[in-house]
């Protein structure tokens, strides 16, 4: 895929409020789907679909810890996203309000 098309796809993905919120949250720390469900107040299938799209675009990586999968940003090789990430509002307060759960 030519570079301009790839960039257009990535910025199109980030044009969605939920996906942008996921990226902003993952900028703070890795998270599991259940935490993202609580944060965005939406369904698990909806979050999973958003995360899958971000993962398919190479913006998010997953790591298995026990029976749970945790997601983190994968943007080290995408310096063109630095300005976007720098403009995202901090999510620390929202993340601190999440119910301490162990994704059960």
What mean pLDDT, rounded, does the chain reach?
Answer: 91
pLDDT of residue 68: 86
Per CATH, is 3-75 categorized as 1.10.3210.10? no
CA 83 and chain centroid, separation: 16
CA distances from 63 to 36, 42, 71, 99 (A): 16, 23, 6, 22
Q: Where are the domains of the chain?
A: 3-75
Percent of the chain with pLDDT over 70: 94
Confidence of residue 104 (pLDDT cuts 50, 70, 90): low
Residue burial 45-63, b: 16+ Cβ < 10 Å; e: rest: eebeebbebbeebebbeee
Q: Which two tokens stand for residue 59?
A: 């913006």
Angstrom distances, CA of residue 86 to CA of 22, 61, 90: 15, 20, 9
Q: For 79-98, how does the pLDDT look when each residue is reduced to its tens digit (9 = 90+)?
A: 989 888 999 988 888 888 88
The DSSP 8-state label assigned to residue 68 in this structure reads: E
pTM of whole model > 0.75?
Answer: yes
**Higher per-residue confidence, 99 vs 3:** 3
39 phi, psi to nearest 5 deg: -60, -45
At 20 the pLDDT is 95
Cα separation, 18 vs 21, whole angstroms: 5
């Amino acid at each position: 895929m030519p570079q301009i098309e790839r960039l257009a796809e990535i910025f199109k993905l980030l044009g969605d409020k939920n996906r942008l919120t996921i990226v902003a949250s993952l900028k703070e720390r890795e998270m599991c789907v259940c935490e993202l469900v609580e944060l965005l107040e939406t369904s698990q299938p909806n979050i999973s679909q958003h995360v899958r799209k971000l993962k398919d675009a190479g913006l998010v990586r997953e790591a298995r810890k026990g029976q749970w999968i945790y997601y983190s940003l994968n943007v080290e090789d995408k310096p063109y996203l630095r300005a976007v990430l720098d403009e995202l509002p901090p999510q620390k307060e929202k993340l601190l309000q999440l119910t301490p759960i162990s994704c059960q």
